């Protein structure tokens, strides 16, 4: 049955386009190359069918399998390939839209374990499956109301609190929980404008020593390594997305020449720029 008065829904100022929807269904064939570039948004993948192999931070490889849900770190770009026909729902947002959910997450901070990962996994319980089936229905009928999506986002947080322990939620949502910290927000914003740790510390109005101490506390990684990973991801992503020649692309990425860009790729990816593009075409 089609939705009634669809034009009225579309004309409402709270109606989201499919592109702006928080929830998206992805049905992909086998051997399909994928890029999950959250652009600073928090991303959660619900695998409904099939299997996907993706690469993330520090060149780690993970397999996302049906029956599980995954939280991705908003700092990274993920690339990969489907290993068979797949179906998934991806939820992406900047912050919880209901203040109660935000407060509930902040309270979990003390339960975050010392060791966390750039991809966290939890099983899709029957209660979550019912929830996802409802979302598939709304998406199939293009019911992209912003209010409805806020409610469905909050419903998911409610189900997570109801059926998973505080420790499980803290680990699964650790990136989102830590991301509300003012220091982390400032670092992410300023990092786009700098190239070195000293420049980043100065942009944050801190001495380099104080900055390094705070950075290690909140990011669990040395700032130099973090900046390098951010740059590597940007270079790899632009090589995959852009159709410009290397002479045009190199200065856009901060390199003096296409030769310098090629040397960078050989050093950090063990591939030439052309090989990176070919591998992801």
0.95 exceeded by pTM: no
The pLDDT of residue 60: 78
Beta-carbon contacts of 161 under 8 Å, excluding residues fewer than 6 positions away, are 104, 169
Residue 192: band (very low, low, confident or very high) from pLDDT cuts 50, 70, 90: confident
**How far from chain centre, in Å, is Cα 196?**
24
For helices 208-219 and 182-190, the axis angle rounded to 10 degrees is 110
Residue 126: band (very low, low, confident or very high) from pLDDT cuts 50, 70, 90: very high
Residues 82-120 have pLDDT tens digits of 999 999 999 998 878 887 888 888 889 899 998 888 899
| 3 state DSSP class of 23 | strand
The pLDDT of residue 18: 57
The Cα 104–Cα 115 span in angstroms is 21
The pLDDT of residue 65: 98
Least confident range of 2-11, 26-35, 163-172: 2-11
Mean pLDDT, to the nearest integer, of 113-130? 93
Scanning the chain, the segments in alpha helix (DSSP H) are 6-11, 99-106, 126-140, 146-163, 166-172, 174-179, 182-190, 197-203, 208-219, 223-241, 246-252, 258-269, 273-279
Residues 38-73 have pLDDT tens digits of 666 889 999 999 999 998 765 678 999 999 999 998
Q: Do strands 86-93 and 119-123 pair parallel, antiparallel, or not at all (unpaired)?
A: unpaired
The pLDDT of residue 193: 80
Q: Is the pLDDT of residue 20 over 80?
A: no
Q: Is the pLDDT of residue 262 over 60?
A: yes
The pLDDT of residue 1: 62
Task: Provide the residue count of the chain.
Answer: 281
* Residue ranges with strand state E in 197-275: none
175 or 51: which carries more pLDDT confidence?
51
* Contact (Cβ atoms closer than 8 angstroms) between residue 258 and residue 244: no
DSSP 67: T
Written as six digits, the tokens of 50 are 């099939």
Residues 206-253 have pLDDT tens digits of 999 999 988 887 777 899 988 888 888 788 878 887 788 888 888 888
Written as six digits, the tokens of 229 are 């990973």
């Amino acid at each position: 049955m089609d939705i009634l008065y669809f034009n009225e829904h579309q004309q409402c100022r709270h109606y989201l386009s499919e592109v702006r929807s928080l929830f998206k269904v992805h049905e992909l064939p086998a051997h399909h190359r994928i890029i999950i570039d959250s652009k600073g948004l928090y991303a959660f993948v619900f695998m409904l069918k099939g299997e996907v192999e993706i690469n993330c931070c520090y060149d780690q490889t993970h397999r996302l399998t049906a029956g599980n849900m995954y939280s991705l770190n908003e700092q990274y770009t993920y690339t990969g390939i489907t290993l068979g026909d797949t179906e998934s729902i991806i939820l992406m947002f900047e912050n919880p839209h209901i203040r109660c959910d935000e407060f509930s997450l902040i309270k979990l901070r003390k339960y975050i374990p010392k060791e966390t990962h750039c991809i966290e996994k939890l099983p899709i319980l029957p209660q979550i499956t019912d929830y996802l089936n409802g979302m598939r229905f709304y998406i199939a009928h293009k019911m992209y109301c912003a209010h409805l999506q806020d409610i469905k986002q909050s419903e998911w947080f409610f189900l997570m609190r109801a059926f998973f322990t505080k420790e499980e939620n803290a680990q699964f949502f650790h990136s989102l929980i830590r991301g509300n910290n003012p220091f982390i927000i400032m670092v992410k914003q300023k990092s786009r404008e700098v190239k070195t740790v000293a420049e980043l510390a100065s942009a944050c109005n801190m001495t380099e020593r104080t900055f390094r101490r705070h950075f290690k506390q909140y990011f669990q990684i040395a700032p130099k390594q973090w900046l390098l990973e951010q740059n590597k991801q940007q270079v790899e992503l632009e090589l995959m997305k852009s159709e410009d020649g290397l002479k045009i692309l190199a200065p856009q990425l901060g390199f003096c020449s296409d030769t310098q860009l090629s040397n960078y790729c050989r050093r950090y990816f063990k591939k030439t720029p052309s090989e990176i593009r070919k591998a992801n075409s």
